[in-house]
Amino acid sequence: MAAVKALVLRTAGTNCDEETRYAFEACGAEAELVHVNNLVKGEHHLSAYQILALPGGFTYGDDVASGKVFAVELVKALGQELQEFVDKGGLVIGICNGFQVLVKTGLLPDAQLTGAEERKLTLTHNDSHKFEDRWVWLEADQNTRCIFAEGGERIPVPVAHAEGKLVARSPEVLAELESGGQVVYRYINEDGSEPCYPADPNGSIGHIAGICDPTGRIFGLMPHPERNFFPYHHPQWTRQGMKKEGEGVRIFRRAVEACR
């Protein structure tokens, strides 16, 4: 059986790229860390991979807005190749800054690489008007069609962002996401109840932490599952007892298994 191949794309300001690469490799994929310039030059080709990962960070210093410059670069320099990758069934995951990039390219929520200024939704400044860095709880929507998640599961993960508030152009956009199974994870209190700040660190509509496209193959989330990979990543692991693995592993494993 041919190995599942994942491309972890980085550029100036990317972080957690090594952790993301390791996560895919530990789940059985062959993962490569590739700079965007190598794709632009044709030294690597998206068609050689089944999974594309856009890690977290502060690409190009988050100039203008978080993920905006990188999004423009992808649309202008790699638009056709990226759209073909998506249309042929490739999986895409954007984490934190990667989520911001996917939204600003147009790949979320509609899987169309438009880069349009007038989008259905965007990610903007947290309600607290400051950088939020803490562990939170997520619950997967029961009706989600995302292949990276399982409906109803609850997982703890860390967040680290200043522009993570998901806002929609209209109530109809939110209704469309919910009815189409495109809401993937929501922030919750540890007991599963509806959160307020700081359990919801940014004030997103519907407490949404992650969404997918209509096919469930393009997935963006603000929290960092690669930072909850080993059981001792959790700050309370000594109290909780040593688990087999961190809950974030599930997200990467599902992607690899889906490709197989």
Taking domain 5-259, whether its CATH number is 3.40.50.2000 is answered by no
Identify the pLDDT of residue 116.
66
The full set of domain ranges for the chain reads: 5-259
Return the percentage of the chain with pLDDT > 90, whole number. Answer: 93
How far apart CA 45 and CA 9 sit, in angstroms, is: 12
Token reading at 135: 């562990």
- Token pair, residue 124, equals 């903007």
Q: At residue 241, what are phi and psi to the nearest 5 degrees?
A: 90, 155
Asked if residue 115 has pLDDT above 80, the reply is: no
Digit-coded pLDDT (tens) for 124-171: 999 999 999 999 999 999 999 999 999 999 999 999 999 999 999 999
pLDDT for the residue numbered 152: 97
Q: Please, what is the end-to-end C-alpha distance for the chain in angstroms?
A: 8
Residues designated as active site: 96, 224, 226
Length of the chain as a residue count: 260
- Per-residue pLDDT averaged across 101-123, rounded? 90
What is the structure's pLDDT at 200? 98
- For the stretch 204-228, pLDDT in tens is 999 999 999 999 999 999 999 999 9
Q: What is the 3-state secondary structure (H, E, C) of the chain?
A: CCCCEEEEEECCCECCHHHHHHHHHHCCCEEEEEEHHHHHCCCCCHHHCCEEEECCECHHHHCCCCCHHHHHHHHHHHHHHHHHHHHCCCEEEEECHHHHHHHHHCHHHHCCCCCCCCCCEEEECCCCCCCEEEEEEEEECCCCCCCCCCCCCEEEEEEEECCCEEEECCHHHHHHHHHCCCEEEEEECCCCCCCCCCCCCCCCHHHEEEEECCCCCEEEECCCHHHCCCHHHCCCHHHHCCCCCCCCHHHHHHHHHHHC
- Cα dihedral 200/71/250/87 (nearest 10): 130
* Averaged pLDDT, 182-196: 98
Residue 232 CB contacts under 8 Å (≥ 6 apart), including other chains: 242
Q: Closest Cα partner for 187 from 158, 207, 217, 161? A: 207
Are 122 and 167 a contacting pair, CB within 8 Å? Answer: yes
Model pLDDT, residue 91? 98
d(CA 10, CA 33): 7
Q: Residue 137's pLDDT is what?
A: 98
Q: Say what the pLDDT of residue 124 is.
A: 97
228-258 pLDDT per residue, tens: 999 999 999 999 888 899 999 999 999 999 9
Contacts of 68 by beta carbon, 8 Å cutoff, 6+ apart: 62, 100, 104
**Over the chain, what is the mean pLDDT?**
96
C-alpha–C-alpha distance, residues 213 and 176, integer Å: 11
pLDDT of residue 1: 66
State residue 117's pLDDT score. Answer: 67
pLDDT for the residue numbered 209: 98
